[in-house]
């Protein structure tokens, strides 16, 4: 997007007197495109805006900017720091225009800052859940258990329709999640859908913005809290988020929270599987998509299985996995080579670096053609067996075999986990906010 594109959007959908004077692509975000736009009014005033444009494909390609616009408009004025939604429309792809709120993503935090932000995130969720869904124009028909079932089935459909290959452990976790839904009579509430430090801005030590509302729906309140626990991978302590939530909403059922923490890991695993499929098909180019499709998927599966009560990962026995994750080595080499050639080479001004990058891309493409097919077992048959076992109540031996296979895969992903600094999957240790309490 350039200034001419942004000006056209602003003049048609926001204010005919606006002109974009600067456009910058946001540096973070794996779901939609974020563009920061500086605009000038006819009287010379400056406005800082955001154009949130649907990604061409990827982890959340199925979500809608129009729904996000409606949700932001409904929540505005209820005491939560959400951006003012100004316009929604389509210009080659759907977009949403918002006011840009002050603040920046939380970076390195001192211990007292971590605690304060964690508690404030928890209290923000509790205040959201106190809102009446129907007053915001959101349907709240049926029980929270029925809403959770609808969500699980939605992600099952997404997983089976867009995956590059079956992931037996993920299929088993989805079957477990459908079978083990808490039915505690809790009334459905408005859910943010994607809460966490990755979707907040901070200014002067306080949360200044709650962002990214494309996953908003109505359901069990601990669905949101479980997702917040999932998101706390080091920047904020999950226990502080839970404590902040309990200050307003009251004591949290930890067994129920464990279910929704496992569900968050499972649904996020579906998202990255779908993002990986789009990368393999060449619909998105960034290697970050493929890296998350391996590393974050494996981490989510390990965390989800533990929260579900299936146990910790065993030590790897050093063998190759029976059901290797995608992208496989050939797909990885081919995709990275394509990205180098299409994205990196045109941006390089140094002639020598351009030549070397072209050679590197060609080398990766040739490597992809030379990699023999994997000797993995039949993942579809393994998934069918695991799903049937979960629907029948769960088979510890099947679960253990799947966890052992995941341990082998994680053993080979060491360079990725070291690169991104994600915590190692739990193999043994103490309970956390969503510890191993369900079976």
First to last CA, the chain: 49
> CA 278 to CA 323: how far, in whole Å?
20
394-397: list long-range contacts, CB under 8 Å, 24+ apart: 394/176, 394/439
Q: What is the DSSP letter of 136?
A: G
> CA 374 to CA 263: how far, in whole Å?
30
> CA 402 to CA 296: how far, in whole Å?
17
Positions of the chain with pLDDT lower than 50, given as ranges: 428-432, 436-439
Residue 219 forms beta bridges with which residues?
189
Predicted local distance difference test score (pLDDT) of residue 438: 43
Contact (Cβ atoms closer than 8 angstroms) between residue 63 and residue 114: no
Predicted local distance difference test score (pLDDT) of residue 286: 86
> CA 227 to CA 129: how far, in whole Å?
14
> CA 114 to CA 75: how far, in whole Å?
26
Q: Name the residue among 229, 32, 204 with its Cα closest to residue 116.
A: 204
Ordered DSSP codes for 44-79: S-EEEEEEEE--SSSTTTT--HHHHHHHHHHHTTSS
Which residue is it, tokens 């444009």? 53
Predicted local distance difference test score (pLDDT) of residue 426: 62
Q: Name the residue among 282, 266, 280, 176 with its Cα closest to residue 223.
A: 266
> CA 365 to CA 371: how far, in whole Å?
10
- Which residues lie closer than 8 Å to 76 by C-beta, 6 or more apart? 82, 84, 85
Task: Return the structure tokens found at 363.
Answer: 């080398």
> CA 222 to CA 216: how far, in whole Å?
14
Predicted local distance difference test score (pLDDT) of residue 427: 60
Burial (CB < 10 A; 0-12, 13-18, 19+), residue 351, is exposed
Q: CA torsion, points 415, 275, 67, 257, in degrees to nearest 10?
A: -50
> CA 390 to CA 399: how far, in whole Å?
9
Instruction: For 260, list phi and psi in degrees, rounded to 5.
Output: -75, -25
pTM score over 0.85: yes
> CA 308 to CA 263: how far, in whole Å?
8
Omega cis (within 30) before 257: no
Instruction: For 85, list phi and psi in degrees, rounded to 5.
Output: -85, 120
């Amino acid at each position: 997007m350039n200034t001419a594109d942004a000006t056209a959007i602003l003049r048609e959908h926001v204010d005919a007197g606006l002109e974009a004077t600067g456009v910058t692509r946001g540096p973070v975000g794996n779901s939609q495109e974020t563009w920061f736009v500086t605009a000038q009014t006819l009287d010379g005033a400056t406005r800082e805006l955001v154009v949130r444009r649907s990604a061409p494909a990827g982890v959340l390609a199925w979500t809608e900017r129009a729904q996000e616009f409606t949700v932001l408009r409904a929540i505005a004025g209820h005491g939560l720091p959400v951006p003012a939604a100004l316009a929604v429309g389509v210009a080659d792809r759907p977009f949403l225009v918002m006011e840009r709120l002050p603040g920046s993503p939380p970076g390195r935090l001192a211990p007292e800052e971590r605690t304060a932000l964690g508690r404030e995130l928890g209290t923000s969720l509790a205040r959201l859940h106190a809102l009446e869904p129907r007053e915001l124009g959101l349907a709240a028909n049926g029980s929270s258990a029925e809403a959770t079932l609808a969500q699980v089935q939605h992600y099952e459909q997404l997983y089976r329709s867009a995956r590059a290959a079956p992931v037996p452990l993920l299929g088993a976790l989805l079957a477990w999640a459908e079978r083990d839904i808490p039915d505690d009579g809790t009334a459905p509430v408005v859910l943010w859908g994607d809460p966490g430090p990755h979707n907040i801005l901070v200014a002067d030590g306080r949360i200044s913005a709650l962002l990214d509302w494309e996953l908003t729906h109505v359901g069990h309140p601990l669905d949101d809290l479980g997702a917040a626990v999932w998101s706390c991978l080091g920047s904020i302590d999950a226990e502080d988020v839970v404590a902040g939530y309990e200050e307003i909403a009251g004591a949290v059922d930890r067994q129920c929270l464990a279910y929704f923490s496992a569900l968050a890991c499972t649904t996020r695993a579906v998202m990255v599987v779908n993002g990986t499929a789009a990368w393999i098909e060449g619909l998105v180019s960034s290697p970050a998509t493929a890296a998350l499709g391996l590393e974050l998927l494996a981490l989510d599966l390990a965390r989800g299985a533990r929260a579900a009560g299936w146990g910790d990962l065993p030590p790897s026995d050093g063998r190759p996995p029976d059901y290797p994750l995608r992208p496989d080595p050939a797909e990885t080499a081919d995709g990275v080579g394509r990205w180098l050639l299409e994205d990196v080479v045109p941006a390089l001004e140094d002639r020598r670096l351009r030549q070397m990058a072209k050679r590197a891309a060609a080398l990766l493409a040739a490597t992809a053609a030379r990699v023999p097919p994997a000797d993995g077992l039949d993942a579809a048959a393994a998934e069918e067996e695991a799903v049937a076992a979960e629907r029948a109540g769960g088979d510890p031996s099947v679960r253990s075999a799947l966890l052992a296979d995941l341990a082998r895969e994680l053993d080979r992903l060491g360079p990725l986990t070291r690169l991104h600094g994600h915590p190692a999957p739990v193999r043994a240790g103490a309970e956390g906010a969503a510890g191993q309490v369900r079976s």
